[in-house]
Amino acid sequence: MTASATPAIAPPETVLATDDLSAYYGTHQAVGNVSIAFRRQAITALIGPSGCGKTTLLRCLNRIHELAFDACVSGRVLFDNADIYEWGTDPMAIRRRIGMVFQRPNPFPTLSILDNAVAAGGRRLNRRAKLEVAERALRAAALWDEVKDKLSRSPLQLSGGQQQRLCIARAVAAEPDVLLMDEPTASLDPIATAVIEELMASLANQFTLVAVTHNMQQAARVSDVAAFMLADESRTGRLIEVDDTAKLFTKPSDRRTEDYITGRFG
């Protein structure tokens, strides 16, 4: 699993990488000069205290950041070795290949569970094809057995954890290569959290996962690689350290990482 000899911009097991990426809200720089590569079919956890730019970094990866008022980006984000911020790149196409799950479950309230699951491009399908796509996605999100009898109901009748899995199904149905998750369990109870964590492990067989969490136990439990971020004096988020999760949590190479994981701040 070492880098091959091909002189690619990023090693072949890397599907997504940032290169000197900075992100701004107006004049405030929220993320500064981050270069990080995300390994294919692995779970990378972004950890760090609140406000250190984890969400912002994640949102730069599928060009959702630019929807915020006054937002801008510098540097590159390489997806399949092409810069997604290259002039002329269609952000819609990027977003279809890099899916996202949000901090709070946000199913579409006016669509049925079925239509939520196939919301990405399911409109043109007939009912049979829709059901097929939905079943596959809902099974992948470990939700099928719980909702198969109430597919035409409103998603608002589901529990928070089920809603979040529906959102995962919705993202999975688009068949992306990468799934970005922003604290997907932050609003859930411990049991629902455990279900989602288990689900993340199974999704990693198929997708490349990047998950923000500020729960270190969770990062230690589910991720293969962990990246630690910290805001500097001007509140700009910096990438401090990236390593295999086991290594980062046992032998961090930076003092600040050690302070954070031992709970001395944050």
Ligand X SMILES: Nc1ncnc2c1ncn2[C@@H]1O[C@H](COP(=O)(O)OP(=O)(O)O)[C@@H](O)[C@H]1O
Give the residue among 99, 124, 90 at the shortest CA–CA distance from 16: 99
Q: Are strands 225-231 and 43-47 parallel, antiparallel or unpaired?
A: parallel
Q: Cβ distance 170 to 117 under 8 Å?
A: yes
When CB distances are held under 5 to 8 angstroms depending on the partner's kind, the choice from ligand X, Mg ion, other proteins, none that residue 14 binds is none
Candidates 3, 8, 93, 246; binder of other proteins (CB under 8 A) is: 93
From 1-9, 31-39, 54-62, 166-174, give the range in contact with Mg ion by CB under 5 A: 54-62
Interface with other proteins includes 45 (CB under 8 A)? no
Separation between Cα atoms, residue 237 and residue 52, nearest integer Å: 5
Q: Cβ distance 205 to 24 under 8 Å?
A: no
Considering the complex, what minimum distance in angstroms separates the CB of residue 193 from other proteins?
20
Tokens of 154: 């409103």
Considering only residues 110-139, where is the footprint of other proteins by CB under 8 A?
A: 110-111, 119-121
Task: Return the amino acid letter for 128.
Answer: R
Separation between Cα atoms, residue 161 and residue 138, nearest integer Å: 13
Tokens 């002189």 map to which residue? 7
Give the residue among 148, 47, 125 at the shortest CA–CA distance from 57: 47
Interface with other proteins includes 157 (CB under 8 A)? no
Considering the complex, what minimum distance in angstroms separates the CB of residue 264 from ligand X?
18
Considering the complex, what minimum distance in angstroms separates the CB of residue 141 from ligand X?
24
Q: Closest residue to ligand X, Cβ-based?
A: 55
Q: Are strands 14-25 and 71-79 parallel, antiparallel or unpaired?
A: antiparallel
Interface with ligand X includes 108 (CB under 6 A)? no
Report how many residues bind ligand X under the rule CB under 6 A: 14
Rg, the chain, Cα only: 19
| DSSP three-state, residue 159 | coil
From 35-43, 48-56, 165-173, 186-194, give the range in contact with Mg ion by CB under 5 A: 48-56
Interface with ligand X includes 30 (CB under 6 A)? yes
Report how many residues bind other proteins under the rule CB under 8 A: 26
Query: Footprint of other proteins on this chain (CB under 8 A)?
Result: 62, 64, 67, 69, 92-96, 99-100, 102, 104, 106-111, 119-121, 167, 170-171, 174
> Which residues contact ligand X by CB under 6 A?
25, 28, 30, 48, 50-56, 68, 235, 237
